[in-house]
A and B are shown apart, each in its own frame.
Chain A
Amino acid sequence: MKIEKYVTDIAEALEMEAAQLTAETEYKELPNWDSLAALSVIAMTDENYNVSIGGDDIEKSRTVQELWNLVAQRMA
């Protein structure tokens, strides 16, 4: 599984164009980021990757890459 797919999935969860997001995006700095956006990312990750991420994971990850690293680790 590649990070490119996760970037696209996050963009979709946040109702953004995929081109607006990269692995280096600091997602919590996005103008449309809020507590409900966090729920969308958690739901998408559960649905598409069967991986559970919590509030702390969102808290400690800065970029999409950092969040993906956690997800990829839990998929292994």
Chain B
Amino acid sequence: MMIPLTGVEIRGISTAVPKRIARVADYTVLSEQEREKFSVGTGIEERRIVESNQCTSDLCISAAQDLLEKLQWDKDSVQALVMITQTGDHPVPATSIIIQHKLGLPKTCAAFDINLGCSSYPYGLAVLGSFMRTLGLKRALLLVGDVSSRLCSYNDKSAWPLFGDAGSATALELDDSAGAIHFDLNSDGSGKDAIIIASGGLASKNPATTENFAEMEVSAGIARNSSNLQLKGADIFSFAISAVPPSIRRCLSAADWNVGEVDYFVLHQANKMINDFIRKKVGYDPATALSTLKHYGNTSSVSIPLTLSASAEQLQKGGRVILSGFGVGLSWATCNVTLKPETVLHLFETENVY
């Protein structure tokens, strides 16, 4: 276990979702019986998905503007912006840099993207927090967002009904009184095929060709092209239930927290079966497990801040939270955070396009 991050405070978290709702009950690729079974097993009943003109940057800019306004931060005081996404606005340039301009942040603001999915949030806090500490950057924004609905084929029942879209902004500030954050960060590229877009865009391994963009039926109810996201649910499940509990335990032990001392456990929201299983293995109370699967589905990188924002009322007084993300890569990460009161702002809808 590495040394903890100290002196960096989370000042605020805000999350924006698109207005449009996609209901599992309306998904015609599954039969009525399959739809019911799907919702019971995954816990997902509906998701928010973008209209064709709305991008990851739009959701993150909405969240960031909301946050800057509430915190009354002068834009010129923001010295760094890190964006974590796998659905940037363009393959090139980095979405963070586009956002620096659109948000009206100064040109002296450092900005770069990180390519991670479900493990984004703990990784983002680790990278940006230590960057700020080392270089003495007083204020920074961590933006995390994905529009995974754009990646999935509607005709792929193994992917389409799982994913929702959202964008979040987290404000970080140097503050000597901040609690220590312990990180447990992991990767295993041997599982790269578990969640992959095999082709398209700038893929060097398998460049986009007309053939690659033709939709093919893989099996019953699974038709997609090779530039769509594909996932192997059983492999991800098997990975998550074996890798995540030890990661949570390592983080708890580094932080010297007992399971019972944690106010809330916020796991990546992939599927109810995974999260229930991890909860049982680690042994925490169901009342301390926050979930947003029912209304927002799997929102990839942003599932942790989205779940925090959706639970703003419960978190109004702050508290001790364990945050654990796991998935594409494979990549998984856990951290402990002591949230100050009124840090977690609300979740809101936006149709804004910038």
Closest Cβ–Cβ distance, residue A52 to chain B (whole Å): 5
CB of B232 closer than 8 Å to a CB of A: yes
Residues of A contacting B158 in the complex (Cβ-Cβ under 8 angstroms): 35
Closest Cβ–Cβ distance, residue B121 to chain A (whole Å): 24
Question: How distant is the Cα of A36 from the Cα of B37 in the complex, in angstroms?
Answer: 8
Q: Verify B242–A55 contact, CB threshold 8 A.
A: no
List A16-66 residues whose CB lies under 8 Å from chain B: 34-36, 38-40, 42-43, 46-47, 52-56, 58
Q: Verify A36–B242 contact, CB threshold 8 A.
A: no
CB of B273 closer than 8 Å to a CB of A: yes
Residues of A contacting B42 in the complex (Cβ-Cβ under 8 angstroms): 36
Q: Verify A39–B235 contact, CB threshold 8 A.
A: no
Task: Give the A-B contact count at a CB cut-off of 8 A.
Answer: 48
Closest Cβ–Cβ distance, residue A42 to chain B (whole Å): 5
Q: Which of A35, A38, A40, A46 contacts B242 (CB 8 A)?
A: A46
When A43-B273, A43-B277 are in contact, do A38 and B234 touch as well, CB less than 8 Å? Answer: yes
CB of B38 closer than 8 Å to a CB of A: yes
Q: Verify B238–A52 contact, CB threshold 8 A.
A: yes
Q: Verify B241–A55 contact, CB threshold 8 A.
A: no
Interface of A is mostly: helix
Beta-carbon nearest neighbor of A52 in chain B? B242
Residues of A contacting B241 in the complex (Cβ-Cβ under 8 angstroms): 42-43, 46, 52
Question: How distant is the Cα of A1 from the Cα of B297 in the complex, in angstroms?
Answer: 39
Q: Which of B34, B38, B234 contacts A55 (CB 8 A)?
A: B234
Residues of B contacting A54 in the complex (Cβ-Cβ under 8 angstroms): 234-235, 238-239
Beta-carbon nearest neighbor of B41 in chain A? A36
Residues of B contacting A35 in the complex (Cβ-Cβ under 8 angstroms): 158, 233-234
List B204-240 residues whose CB lies under 8 Å from chain A: 232-235, 237-239
Q: Verify B232–A55 contact, CB threshold 8 A.
A: yes
Question: How distant is the Cα of A43 from the Cα of B328 in the complex, in angstroms?
Answer: 20
Residues of B contacting A43 in the complex (Cβ-Cβ under 8 angstroms): 237, 241, 273, 277
Closest Cβ–Cβ distance, residue A75 to chain B (whole Å): 15
Question: How distant is the Cα of A54 from the Cα of B235 in the complex, in angstroms?
Answer: 5
Q: Verify B238–A42 contact, CB threshold 8 A.
A: yes
Residues of B contacting A53 in the complex (Cβ-Cβ under 8 angstroms): 238
Residues of A contacting B277 in the complex (Cβ-Cβ under 8 angstroms): 43, 46-47
Q: Verify A58–B242 contact, CB threshold 8 A.
A: no
Q: Which of B232, B239, B273, B280 contacts A36 (CB 8 A)?
A: B273
Residues of A contacting B41 in the complex (Cβ-Cβ under 8 angstroms): 36, 39
Residues of A contacting B237 in the complex (Cβ-Cβ under 8 angstroms): 39, 42-43
Beta-carbon nearest neighbor of A55 in chain B? B234
Beta-carbon nearest neighbor of A41 in chain B? B234
Return 24 A-B CB contacts under 8 Å, by A number: A34-B37, A35-B158, A35-B234, A36-B273, A38-B233, A38-B234, A39-B41, A39-B233, A39-B234, A39-B237, A42-B234, A42-B238, A43-B277, A46-B242, A46-B277, A47-B277, A52-B241, A52-B242, A53-B238, A54-B238, A55-B232, A55-B233, A55-B235, A56-B235
The 6 A-B residue pairs with the shortest CB-CB distance, nearest first, are A55-B234, A36-B41, A55-B235, A54-B238, A52-B242, A38-B234
